[in-house]
A = this chain, B = another copy of it.
């Protein structure tokens, strides 16, 4: 059963107050690093280093890796050099590289000074790769085997070198750093004969990524193939590291959150909501709000252009919000569907004709259904129930016809813009609801006044 943080936090706080360190230690060893980190972040700052020193070495490193950067920095500043050395060298290389990336320069200097030469070399290697690339999230700690080893020798090698590896369950068969195949511990354990050669049981059809593959693609491959880890090779097809499923899961969650933020017209944020200040939140939200507000100048211009006509037929104004919102909703349904399918790799640009055709059919169905419903609503609710006698059958027809056309335009704009964005290398997620709503607003008003001019003022 998952430990309930609030209760545990209270217990730990009171044990700290009464200085019952041994009891505290006994409780902490029963907890998962992720839960310890969550409790640490809830306690006040002064107590953190104290509590941290109660953890066994390995748990301490794992807990450290789970903490938010601000807490990591606080801890490091409280560490002696010896304490820092112990934690840093116990970390997995990918976590150590993340740490170095997040910390300010003077802290990085201390970290690298305390890292073992081998660790320092590997951290620096990972840091060379561009952000969000496979190289930047991989770890260099994997088990490599030779093709000429027997199953017995392979198992012995895992037993002697496995302790510090991020995973031992998939082993990589290499020769001169060239990746020849993979063999799982399951294959090794279930092999009929201990003298079988690794080359005989290895899987030679290895799926790998390069150091420059985008991390989102890597995560999707791991999820698609249900692999524990994917090998990363350099441009000369030499093996340089692995990416494990747990890092892939984190990437999937992060990238999806980023997509969702962009779709709602926000700049993606690295911090969680509760850890962001109001100023942070403001900075991530204002650019799109301001941009979209300014673009509303167009809708304003269109209405101003038809001002005199509107003054004569004020009843038309009452339907503007409904038409705009229905257009916006129709467009965002299409765009969000397409954006999600693009980011899951279900759609490619070459599917555009199929997508457009599907959206046209859907738009006709939705448009006709909504127009009929809208006509009924206007005649029954607005005219009869609310007694608005300004509404004629012709007005209702103009509104409903506009609605059908708006839905069609909205669905078309909604499905094509994200795909076009992807094609020219922009992020499709930016082409979501707020952006499309602004375009659809302007177009739907033009259609509305166009049709009204032709039928009502003509």
Name the B residues within 8 Å of A185 (CB-CB).
168-169, 185, 189
A317 within 8 A of B: yes
Instruction: Determine whether the beta carbon of A329 is less than 8 Å from that of B265.
Output: yes
Q: A145-175 toward B: CB 8 Å interface, digit per residue (1/0)?
A: 0000000000100110011000011000000
A377 within 8 A of B: yes
Pick from B221, B279, B344, B433: contact of A332, CB under 8 Å: B433
Shortest A392–chain B CB gap in Å is 15
Bound together, the chains give a CA A1 to CA B231 distance in angstroms of 10
Segment from A69-77, A108-116, A121-129, A283-291 that makes contact with B: A283-291
Question: How many copies are assembled?
Answer: 2
Shortest A201–chain B CB gap in Å is 14
A224 within 8 A of B: yes
Which of A253, A300, A314 has the most chain B CB atoms inside 10 A of its CB? A300
Shortest A102–chain B CB gap in Å is 19
Given the interface pairs A279-B365, A344-B253, A370-B293, the reply to whether A310 lies near B321 with Cβ below 8 Å is no
A98 within 8 A of B: no
Shortest A134–chain B CB gap in Å is 12
Instruction: Determine whether the beta carbon of B304 is less than 8 Å from that of A274.
Output: no
A431 within 8 A of B: no
Name the B residues within 8 Å of A207 (CB-CB).
1-3, 32
Name the B residues within 8 Å of A324 (CB-CB).
321, 324-325
A83 within 8 A of B: no
Segment from A7-15, A16-24, A434-442 that makes contact with B: A434-442
A303 within 8 A of B: yes
A266 within 8 A of B: yes
Instruction: Determine whether the beta carbon of A325 is less than 8 Å from that of B296.
Output: yes
Segment from A48-56, A254-262, A420-428 that makes contact with B: A254-262
| Interface of A toward B, CB cutoff 8 Å | 1-3, 29-32, 34, 155, 158-159, 162-163, 168-169, 185-186, 189-190, 205, 207-209, 221-226, 228, 245-246, 248-250, 252-253, 256-257, 260-261, 263-266, 272-274, 276, 278-279, 281-282, 285-286, 288-290, 292-294, 296-297, 299-301, 303-304, 307, 310-311, 314-315, 317-322, 324-326, 328-330, 332-333, 336-338, 340-341, 344, 346-347, 351, 354-355, 358, 361-362, 365-366, 369-370, 373-374, 377, 381-382, 386, 388, 390, 403, 407, 433-434, 437-438, 441, 445
Which of A189, A273, A292, A303 has the most chain B CB atoms inside 10 A of its CB? A273
Instruction: Determine whether the beta carbon of A260 is less than 8 Å from that of B340.
Output: yes
Bound together, the chains give a CA A324 to CA B341 distance in angstroms of 29
A445 (CB) vs chain B CBs: closest residue? B321
Given the interface pairs A2-B221, A344-B257, the reply to whether A289 lies near B354 with Cβ below 8 Å is no
Bound together, the chains give a CA A403 to CA B208 distance in angstroms of 53
SS class of chain A's interface: helix, strand, loop or mixed?
Answer: helix
Instruction: Determine whether the beta carbon of B340 is less than 8 Å from that of A257.
Output: yes
A-B contact pairs, 12 of them (CB 8 A): A245-B245, A248-B249, A257-B340, A264-B336, A273-B338, A278-B362, A285-B366, A289-B329, A289-B366, A293-B373, A296-B321, A311-B311
Given the interface pairs A1-B208, A307-B314, the reply to whether A286 lies near B358 with Cβ below 8 Å is no
A373 (CB) vs chain B CBs: closest residue? B290
Instruction: Determine whether the beta carbon of B274 is less than 8 Å from that of A300.
Output: no
Instruction: Determine whether the beta carbon of B263 is less than 8 Å from that of A336.
Output: yes
A326 (CB) vs chain B CBs: closest residue? B293
Pick from B226, B289, B336: contact of A260, CB under 8 Å: B336
Name the B residues within 8 Å of A336 (CB-CB).
260-261, 263-264, 266
Name the B residues within 8 Å of A297 (CB-CB).
322, 377, 381-382
Bound together, the chains give a CA A169 to CA B187 distance in angstroms of 12
Instruction: Determine whether the beta carbon of B386 is less than 8 Å from that of A301.
Output: yes
Shortest A31–chain B CB gap in Å is 7
Instruction: Determine whether the beta carbon of A34 is less than 8 Å from that of B285.
Output: no
Given the interface pairs A264-B333, A333-B265, A337-B261, the reply to whether A317 lies near B293 with Cβ below 8 Å is no
Instruction: Determine whether the beta carbon of A303 is less than 8 Å from that of B279.
Output: no
Given the interface pairs A273-B338, A299-B321, A338-B273, the reply to whether A292 lies near B362 with Cβ below 8 Å is no
Given the interface pairs A265-B329, A297-B382, A338-B273, the reply to whether A303 lies near B321 with Cβ below 8 Å is yes
Given the interface pairs A320-B320, A340-B260, the reply to whether A190 lies near B205 with Cβ below 8 Å is no
